[in-house]
Structure 1
Amino acid sequence: MASGQGIVKDVREIYSSLFDHKPVVHREIEYFVKEFEDSRKDREVDRLFKILERVTELKGAELQKTQALGDIHLPKLAAELHVAESIANKLIQKRSTADADVQTKLDKGRSERAIEWDIFVHDMTAKCVKIDNKFVEKQEEIKDAFKKTEDKIFSRKLEESTN
Protein backbone atom coordinates (compact mmCIF):
# COMPACT_ATOMS: atom_id res chain seq x y z
CA MET A 1 0.00 0.00 0.00
CA ALA A 2 2.91 2.29 0.72
CA SER A 3 4.11 1.97 -2.86
CA GLY A 4 0.60 2.89 -4.09
CA GLN A 5 0.68 6.05 -1.99
CA GLY A 6 4.16 6.83 -3.28
CA ILE A 7 2.92 6.50 -6.88
CA VAL A 8 -0.03 8.77 -6.15
CA LYS A 9 2.31 11.30 -4.53
CA ASP A 10 4.64 11.15 -7.57
CA VAL A 11 1.69 11.57 -9.96
CA ARG A 12 0.48 14.61 -7.97
CA GLU A 13 3.95 16.17 -8.12
CA ILE A 14 4.19 15.56 -11.87
CA TYR A 15 0.65 16.92 -12.38
CA SER A 16 1.36 20.03 -10.31
CA SER A 17 4.63 20.70 -12.15
CA LEU A 18 2.96 20.27 -15.55
CA PHE A 19 -0.44 21.89 -15.04
CA ASP A 20 -0.33 24.04 -11.89
CA HIS A 21 1.16 27.38 -12.95
CA LYS A 22 0.16 29.35 -9.86
CA PRO A 23 3.62 29.45 -8.25
CA VAL A 24 5.30 30.50 -11.52
CA VAL A 25 2.70 33.16 -12.25
CA HIS A 26 2.86 34.41 -8.65
CA ARG A 27 6.66 34.80 -8.89
CA GLU A 28 6.33 36.67 -12.24
CA ILE A 29 3.75 39.04 -10.78
CA GLU A 30 5.93 39.77 -7.76
CA TYR A 31 8.91 40.41 -10.04
CA PHE A 32 6.90 42.77 -12.29
CA VAL A 33 5.53 44.76 -9.31
CA LYS A 34 9.01 45.01 -7.79
CA GLU A 35 10.54 46.22 -11.08
CA PHE A 36 7.70 48.67 -11.67
CA GLU A 37 7.89 50.21 -8.22
CA ASP A 38 11.69 50.28 -8.01
CA SER A 39 12.56 51.50 -11.49
CA ARG A 40 9.91 54.14 -11.96
CA LYS A 41 9.76 55.61 -8.47
CA ASP A 42 8.49 59.18 -8.70
CA ARG A 43 9.30 59.72 -12.38
CA GLU A 44 5.64 59.64 -13.44
CA VAL A 45 4.62 62.07 -10.71
CA ASP A 46 7.40 64.48 -11.75
CA ARG A 47 6.30 64.23 -15.38
CA LEU A 48 2.68 64.90 -14.46
CA PHE A 49 3.68 68.04 -12.52
CA LYS A 50 5.78 69.28 -15.48
CA ILE A 51 2.85 68.68 -17.83
CA LEU A 52 0.53 70.54 -15.48
CA GLU A 53 2.93 73.50 -15.33
CA ARG A 54 3.19 73.58 -19.15
CA VAL A 55 -0.57 73.43 -19.58
CA THR A 56 -1.02 76.27 -17.10
CA GLU A 57 1.53 78.36 -19.03
CA LEU A 58 -0.16 77.61 -22.33
CA LYS A 59 -3.56 78.40 -20.90
CA GLY A 60 -2.44 81.76 -19.64
CA ALA A 61 -0.29 83.20 -22.39
CA GLU A 62 -0.32 81.03 -25.47
CA LEU A 63 -4.06 80.62 -25.64
CA GLN A 64 -4.59 84.38 -25.90
CA LYS A 65 -1.83 84.68 -28.52
CA THR A 66 -3.35 81.84 -30.51
CA GLN A 67 -6.79 83.40 -30.33
CA ALA A 68 -5.47 86.78 -31.47
CA LEU A 69 -3.56 85.24 -34.37
CA GLY A 70 -6.64 83.21 -35.31
CA ASP A 71 -8.77 86.37 -35.34
CA ILE A 72 -6.24 88.04 -37.63
CA HIS A 73 -5.51 85.22 -40.08
CA LEU A 74 -8.64 83.08 -40.18
CA PRO A 75 -10.82 85.59 -42.11
CA LYS A 76 -8.10 85.86 -44.77
CA LEU A 77 -7.82 82.08 -44.90
CA ALA A 78 -11.61 81.76 -45.18
CA ALA A 79 -11.62 84.21 -48.10
CA GLU A 80 -8.80 82.33 -49.85
CA LEU A 81 -10.64 79.05 -49.33
CA HIS A 82 -13.78 80.59 -50.79
CA VAL A 83 -11.82 81.70 -53.87
CA ALA A 84 -10.25 78.25 -54.20
CA GLU A 85 -13.69 76.65 -53.92
CA SER A 86 -15.11 78.89 -56.66
CA ILE A 87 -12.14 78.08 -58.92
CA ALA A 88 -12.63 74.37 -58.27
CA ASN A 89 -16.34 74.69 -59.08
CA LYS A 90 -15.51 76.48 -62.34
CA LEU A 91 -13.05 73.73 -63.26
CA ILE A 92 -15.64 71.09 -62.50
CA GLN A 93 -18.20 72.93 -64.63
CA LYS A 94 -15.72 73.28 -67.52
CA ARG A 95 -14.88 69.61 -67.24
CA SER A 96 -18.53 68.56 -67.36
CA THR A 97 -19.13 70.88 -70.34
CA ALA A 98 -16.05 69.49 -72.09
CA ASP A 99 -17.20 65.95 -71.34
CA ALA A 100 -20.60 66.75 -72.83
CA ASP A 101 -18.93 68.25 -75.94
CA VAL A 102 -16.68 65.23 -76.33
CA GLN A 103 -19.65 62.91 -75.91
CA THR A 104 -21.56 64.87 -78.57
CA LYS A 105 -18.61 64.61 -80.98
CA LEU A 106 -18.27 60.92 -80.27
CA ASP A 107 -21.98 60.32 -80.87
CA LYS A 108 -21.84 62.34 -84.10
CA GLY A 109 -18.80 60.37 -85.30
CA ARG A 110 -20.49 57.08 -84.44
CA SER A 111 -23.62 58.02 -86.35
CA GLU A 112 -21.55 59.12 -89.37
CA ARG A 113 -19.60 55.86 -89.30
CA ALA A 114 -22.83 53.90 -88.99
CA ILE A 115 -24.20 55.68 -92.09
CA GLU A 116 -20.95 55.07 -93.97
CA TRP A 117 -21.05 51.41 -92.94
CA ASP A 118 -24.64 51.04 -94.11
CA ILE A 119 -23.70 52.60 -97.47
CA PHE A 120 -20.68 50.33 -97.75
CA VAL A 121 -22.75 47.23 -96.95
CA HIS A 122 -25.42 48.31 -99.47
CA ASP A 123 -22.79 48.90 -102.19
CA MET A 124 -21.11 45.58 -101.48
CA THR A 125 -24.45 43.79 -101.59
CA ALA A 126 -25.29 45.45 -104.91
CA LYS A 127 -21.87 44.50 -106.34
CA CYS A 128 -22.30 40.92 -105.13
CA VAL A 129 -25.72 40.74 -106.79
CA LYS A 130 -24.24 42.08 -110.04
CA ILE A 131 -21.42 39.54 -109.88
CA ASP A 132 -23.89 36.74 -109.19
CA ASN A 133 -26.07 37.88 -112.10
CA LYS A 134 -23.08 38.09 -114.46
CA PHE A 135 -21.99 34.65 -113.30
CA VAL A 136 -25.43 33.21 -114.06
CA GLU A 137 -25.43 34.99 -117.46
CA LYS A 138 -21.99 33.67 -118.36
CA GLN A 139 -23.01 30.23 -117.18
CA GLU A 140 -26.04 30.35 -119.45
CA GLU A 141 -23.90 31.62 -122.34
CA ILE A 142 -21.42 28.78 -121.82
CA LYS A 143 -24.29 26.26 -121.64
CA ASP A 144 -25.71 27.66 -124.88
CA ALA A 145 -22.28 27.58 -126.52
CA PHE A 146 -21.75 23.97 -125.44
CA LYS A 147 -25.26 23.05 -126.55
CA LYS A 148 -24.63 24.60 -130.00
CA THR A 149 -21.29 22.84 -130.24
CA GLU A 150 -22.88 19.59 -129.18
CA ASP A 151 -25.66 20.03 -131.72
CA LYS A 152 -23.11 20.70 -134.47
CA ILE A 153 -21.14 17.63 -133.48
CA PHE A 154 -24.29 15.55 -133.32
CA SER A 155 -25.49 16.83 -136.68
CA ARG A 156 -22.10 16.05 -138.28
CA LYS A 157 -22.17 12.59 -136.83
CA LEU A 158 -25.63 12.13 -138.26
CA GLU A 159 -24.50 13.34 -141.64
CA GLU A 160 -21.50 11.06 -141.56
CA SER A 161 -23.53 8.10 -140.49
CA THR A 162 -26.09 8.71 -143.24
CA ASN A 163 -23.43 9.12 -145.85
Structure 2
Amino acid sequence: MSGGVTETSVGGEAALGGGGKKRDSLGTSGSAQLIIKDLGEIHSRLLDHRPVIQGETRYFVKEFEEKRSLRELRVLENLKNMIHETNEHTLPKCRETMQDNLEEVLQRLQAANDAVCRLQQREQERKKMYNEHLIASEKQHVLQWEDFMRKQPHRQAEVDEEHRRAMERLKEQYAEMEKDLAKFSTF
Protein backbone atom coordinates (compact mmCIF):
# COMPACT_ATOMS: atom_id res chain seq x y z
CA MET A 1 0.00 0.00 0.00
CA SER A 2 2.23 2.62 -1.16
CA GLY A 3 -0.53 5.00 -2.08
CA GLY A 4 0.61 5.87 -5.57
CA VAL A 5 4.22 6.51 -4.66
CA THR A 6 6.90 5.18 -6.93
CA GLU A 7 8.18 1.90 -5.77
CA THR A 8 11.78 0.95 -5.64
CA SER A 9 12.99 -2.26 -7.17
CA VAL A 10 15.23 -4.80 -5.61
CA GLY A 11 18.33 -3.41 -7.15
CA GLY A 12 17.54 0.04 -5.89
CA GLU A 13 16.53 1.39 -9.21
CA ALA A 14 13.50 3.54 -9.32
CA ALA A 15 10.80 2.44 -11.70
CA LEU A 16 9.67 5.15 -13.95
CA GLY A 17 6.09 6.12 -13.48
CA GLY A 18 5.21 6.51 -17.12
CA GLY A 19 6.03 4.31 -20.04
CA GLY A 20 8.40 1.87 -18.42
CA LYS A 21 7.72 -1.67 -17.58
CA LYS A 22 6.70 -2.40 -14.05
CA ARG A 23 8.54 -5.04 -12.25
CA ASP A 24 6.21 -5.63 -9.42
CA SER A 25 4.99 -8.96 -10.26
CA LEU A 26 4.15 -11.27 -7.43
CA GLY A 27 7.04 -13.49 -8.06
CA THR A 28 9.85 -10.99 -7.56
CA SER A 29 11.54 -10.42 -4.28
CA GLY A 30 11.07 -6.64 -4.37
CA SER A 31 7.33 -6.92 -4.39
CA ALA A 32 7.49 -9.32 -1.45
CA GLN A 33 9.38 -6.73 0.51
CA LEU A 34 6.77 -4.14 -0.35
CA ILE A 35 4.00 -6.47 0.69
CA ILE A 36 5.79 -7.25 3.94
CA LYS A 37 6.32 -3.58 4.51
CA ASP A 38 2.64 -2.85 3.83
CA LEU A 39 1.59 -5.73 6.07
CA GLY A 40 3.84 -4.37 8.82
CA GLU A 41 2.20 -0.99 8.50
CA ILE A 42 -1.26 -2.54 8.54
CA HIS A 43 -0.30 -4.67 11.52
CA SER A 44 1.14 -1.71 13.40
CA ARG A 45 -1.94 0.39 12.68
CA LEU A 46 -4.53 -2.27 13.42
CA LEU A 47 -2.96 -4.50 16.02
CA ASP A 48 -0.07 -2.64 17.68
CA HIS A 49 -1.73 -0.33 20.20
CA ARG A 50 1.40 0.59 22.14
CA PRO A 51 1.90 4.03 20.57
CA VAL A 52 -1.79 4.87 21.03
CA ILE A 53 -1.82 3.58 24.61
CA GLN A 54 1.38 5.47 25.39
CA GLY A 55 -0.11 8.65 23.96
CA GLU A 56 -3.35 8.17 25.88
CA THR A 57 -1.39 7.41 29.03
CA ARG A 58 0.70 10.57 28.64
CA TYR A 59 -2.50 12.55 28.01
CA PHE A 60 -4.22 11.03 31.08
CA VAL A 61 -1.22 11.69 33.32
CA LYS A 62 -0.99 15.26 32.03
CA GLU A 63 -4.72 15.86 32.61
CA PHE A 64 -4.61 14.18 36.00
CA GLU A 65 -1.66 16.28 37.12
CA GLU A 66 -3.30 19.44 35.84
CA LYS A 67 -6.61 18.63 37.51
CA ARG A 68 -4.84 17.57 40.67
CA SER A 69 -2.79 20.72 40.79
CA LEU A 70 -5.93 22.77 40.07
CA ARG A 71 -7.80 20.90 42.80
CA GLU A 72 -4.94 21.46 45.23
CA LEU A 73 -4.85 25.12 44.23
CA ARG A 74 -8.59 25.36 44.88
CA VAL A 75 -8.18 23.68 48.26
CA LEU A 76 -5.32 26.02 49.16
CA GLU A 77 -7.31 29.02 47.97
CA ASN A 78 -10.31 27.90 50.04
CA LEU A 79 -8.06 27.48 53.08
CA LYS A 80 -6.57 30.91 52.49
CA ASN A 81 -10.06 32.43 52.23
CA MET A 82 -11.22 30.62 55.34
CA ILE A 83 -8.17 31.78 57.32
CA HIS A 84 -8.66 35.32 56.08
CA GLU A 85 -12.37 35.18 57.02
CA THR A 86 -11.46 33.83 60.44
CA ASN A 87 -8.79 36.44 61.08
CA GLU A 88 -10.81 39.37 59.76
CA HIS A 89 -14.33 38.59 60.97
CA THR A 90 -14.76 35.58 63.23
CA LEU A 91 -11.84 36.16 65.59
CA PRO A 92 -12.66 39.82 66.34
CA LYS A 93 -16.33 38.92 66.78
CA CYS A 94 -15.41 36.12 69.19
CA ARG A 95 -13.04 38.44 71.05
CA GLU A 96 -15.75 41.08 71.35
CA THR A 97 -18.34 38.54 72.51
CA MET A 98 -15.87 37.13 75.00
CA GLN A 99 -15.11 40.62 76.36
CA ASP A 100 -18.83 41.35 76.72
CA ASN A 101 -19.65 38.05 78.38
CA LEU A 102 -16.50 37.88 80.46
CA GLU A 103 -17.66 40.78 82.61
CA GLU A 104 -20.96 39.01 83.30
CA VAL A 105 -19.17 35.74 84.04
CA LEU A 106 -16.83 37.51 86.46
CA GLN A 107 -19.81 39.09 88.24
CA ARG A 108 -21.51 35.72 88.53
CA LEU A 109 -18.31 34.14 89.81
CA GLN A 110 -17.94 36.90 92.39
CA ALA A 111 -21.54 36.39 93.51
CA ALA A 112 -20.99 32.63 93.74
CA ASN A 113 -17.77 33.20 95.65
CA ASP A 114 -19.55 35.51 98.10
CA ALA A 115 -22.33 32.95 98.58
CA VAL A 116 -19.79 30.23 99.26
CA CYS A 117 -17.98 32.46 101.76
CA ARG A 118 -21.26 33.13 103.57
CA LEU A 119 -22.04 29.43 103.65
CA GLN A 120 -18.59 28.67 105.02
CA GLN A 121 -18.98 31.35 107.67
CA ARG A 122 -22.39 29.99 108.68
CA GLU A 123 -20.96 26.48 108.83
CA GLN A 124 -18.06 27.67 111.00
CA GLU A 125 -20.47 29.51 113.29
CA ARG A 126 -22.68 26.43 113.50
CA LYS A 127 -19.67 24.24 114.33
CA LYS A 128 -18.51 26.77 116.90
CA MET A 129 -21.96 26.82 118.52
CA TYR A 130 -22.12 23.03 118.39
CA ASN A 131 -18.66 22.77 119.99
CA GLU A 132 -19.62 25.32 122.64
CA HIS A 133 -22.85 23.42 123.30
CA LEU A 134 -20.91 20.18 123.44
CA ILE A 135 -18.36 21.65 125.87
CA ALA A 136 -21.15 23.12 128.03
CA SER A 137 -23.01 19.83 127.99
CA GLU A 138 -19.83 17.97 128.86
CA LYS A 139 -19.16 20.38 131.76
CA GLN A 140 -22.75 19.89 132.92
CA HIS A 141 -22.31 16.11 132.77
CA VAL A 142 -19.05 16.39 134.72
CA LEU A 143 -20.79 18.53 137.36
CA GLN A 144 -23.68 16.09 137.52
CA TRP A 145 -21.24 13.21 137.84
CA GLU A 146 -19.31 14.98 140.60
CA ASP A 147 -22.60 15.75 142.38
CA PHE A 148 -23.64 12.15 141.95
CA MET A 149 -20.33 10.93 143.33
CA ARG A 150 -20.59 13.36 146.30
CA LYS A 151 -24.10 12.13 147.07
CA GLN A 152 -23.13 8.52 146.56
CA PRO A 153 -21.65 7.90 150.05
CA HIS A 154 -24.74 9.41 151.66
CA ARG A 155 -27.03 7.29 149.48
CA GLN A 156 -24.87 4.28 150.10
CA ALA A 157 -25.21 4.91 153.82
CA GLU A 158 -28.99 5.25 153.40
CA VAL A 159 -29.19 2.04 151.40
CA ASP A 160 -26.97 0.26 153.90
CA GLU A 161 -29.10 1.56 156.75
CA GLU A 162 -32.30 0.48 154.98
CA HIS A 163 -30.74 -2.91 154.29
CA ARG A 164 -29.71 -3.28 157.92
CA ARG A 165 -33.27 -2.42 159.08
CA ALA A 166 -34.76 -4.84 156.59
CA MET A 167 -32.41 -7.54 157.83
CA GLU A 168 -33.42 -6.82 161.43
CA ARG A 169 -37.09 -7.00 160.49
CA LEU A 170 -36.52 -10.24 158.71
CA LYS A 171 -34.60 -11.61 161.68
CA GLU A 172 -37.41 -10.58 164.00
CA GLN A 173 -39.98 -12.07 161.61
CA TYR A 174 -38.04 -15.34 161.37
CA ALA A 175 -37.56 -15.38 165.13
CA GLU A 176 -41.32 -15.03 165.64
CA MET A 177 -41.93 -17.69 163.02
CA GLU A 178 -39.55 -20.02 164.83
CA LYS A 179 -41.37 -19.34 168.10
CA ASP A 180 -44.68 -20.08 166.43
CA LEU A 181 -43.23 -23.16 164.88
CA ALA A 182 -41.83 -24.24 168.21
CA LYS A 183 -45.29 -24.06 169.70
CA PHE A 184 -46.64 -26.42 167.08
CA SER A 185 -43.75 -28.84 167.30
CA THR A 186 -44.57 -29.87 170.84
CA PHE A 187 -47.35 -32.19 169.79
Q: TM-score, normalised by structure 1?
A: 0.49
Higher RCO, Cα 8 Å, sep 6+ = 2
Larger radius of gyration: 2
Q: TM-score, normalised by structure 2?
A: 0.44
